[in-house]
Amino acid sequence: MSLTGEKQTGREQTGSSGGPEEKGASGVVALFFIVGLAASLAIGWIVFPKLLYSKSEQPFDFSHVTHADAVGDCESCHFFREDGSYAGVPTLEQCIECHEEVQGESEAERVFVEEYVAEGREVPWKSYSRQPDCVFFSHAAHVKGAQMECAECHGDIGESESLKPYEENKLTGYSRDIWGSNISGMKENSWDRMKMEDCGACHKETMGSKGACFQCHK
C-alpha cells in the first residue's frame, strides 16, 4: 500500500511542477503524433499499394461467359496436352478454329480478328496467375490427381463478362493475384491469394503435410 501511495505522490509532483505552457506543448506533441500516425497509415495502406502496382488493360476485352456458353466447359480451351503439361491460356491456333472470320459486332472481336488473326500474331495476354520462375505448379496433379475445381484457385473468372485490368507488382514483376488484392494479406476465399503459404496450408489440410520443397519447386 505504501508503495502505491508513493507513486501517486510522485505523479502529483510531476503534474504540479508543469505550468500551462507545458500543457500546451504536450497538446501540440499529441496532435503531431496523431497527424503523423494518420499520415503514415494512409501512406502505408493507400498510397504505397497504388505506387507498388502498375495497372494495364488486356490487349482487348474477352467474355468468359459467352465462351463458356458456346463451348461448354473450361477444358475445351484450357486443356491438357498429351504429355500431361497444361496448355494454360489458349494460343491463336485454338482461337482460329472459331474466329477465322469476324463474329458478332463487338469492338473486341473486330480488334482480335483484324489485328491478330489476320496477321497471324499471338495475343500478348497478361496472365493473372503466373507463378514465379522457381515454382513448378502441376495442373495435372491438382485437377486430375486431386480432382479440384478450377474455381478453387481461380475464383469466378469463368463467370466474368469482361477482363479486369492486369496489375503488376513493380518490384517483383508478379501479378497482383499472387499477393491478393487485399494489401494486408487477409483472405476470405480460397482463390484470394496464391502465395506459398496458401499452397502449404491447403497441402497440410488435405495431405497431412506441406510436402517436400521439390514437390512445388524447380
Minimum distance, C-beta of residue 168 to other proteins, in the bound complex (Å): 19
Number of residues engaging other proteins in binding (CB under 8 A): 21
Beta-bridged to residue 80, according to DSSP, are: 86
Q: Which stretch binds other proteins (CB under 8 A): 56-64, 78-86, 92-100, 155-163?
A: 78-86
Q: Does 36 bind other proteins (CB under 8 A)?
A: no
The C-alpha cell at 82 is: 498429351
Q: Which stretch binds other proteins (CB under 8 A): 88-96, 99-107, 118-126, 137-145?
A: 137-145
CB-nearer residue toward other proteins: 121 or 144: 144
Specify burial of residue 199 (Cβ count, 10 A radius: 0-12, 13-18, 19+): buried
Of 136, 156, 165, 204, the residue at the interface with other proteins (CB under 8 A) is 136
Of 1, 28, 134, 171, the residue at the interface with other proteins (CB under 8 A) is 134
CB-nearer residue toward other proteins: 145 or 165: 145
Minimum distance, C-beta of residue 172 to other proteins, in the bound complex (Å): 11
Q: Does 215 bind other proteins (CB under 8 A)?
A: yes
Q: Does 171 bind other proteins (CB under 8 A)?
A: no
Query: Residue 105, Cα to own-chain centre: how many angstroms?
Result: 32
Minimum distance, C-beta of residue 63 to other proteins, in the bound complex (Å): 29
The C-alpha cell at 136 is: 513448378
Instruction: Count other C-beta atoms under 10 Å from residue 3's C-beta.
Output: 7
Q: Does 165 bind other proteins (CB under 8 A)?
A: no
Q: Which stretch binds other proteins (CB under 8 A): 57-65, 83-91, 92-100, 148-156?
A: 83-91
Determine contact, residues 126/167, Cβ cutoff 8 Å: no
Who contacts 164 (Cβ-Cβ below 8 Å, separation ≥6)? 128
The C-alpha cell at 63 is: 467474355
Instruction: Give the C-alpha separation, 171 to 154, whole Å.
Output: 23
**Which positions touch other proteins (CB under 8 A)?**
80, 82-85, 132-134, 136, 138, 140-141, 144-145, 211-215, 217-218
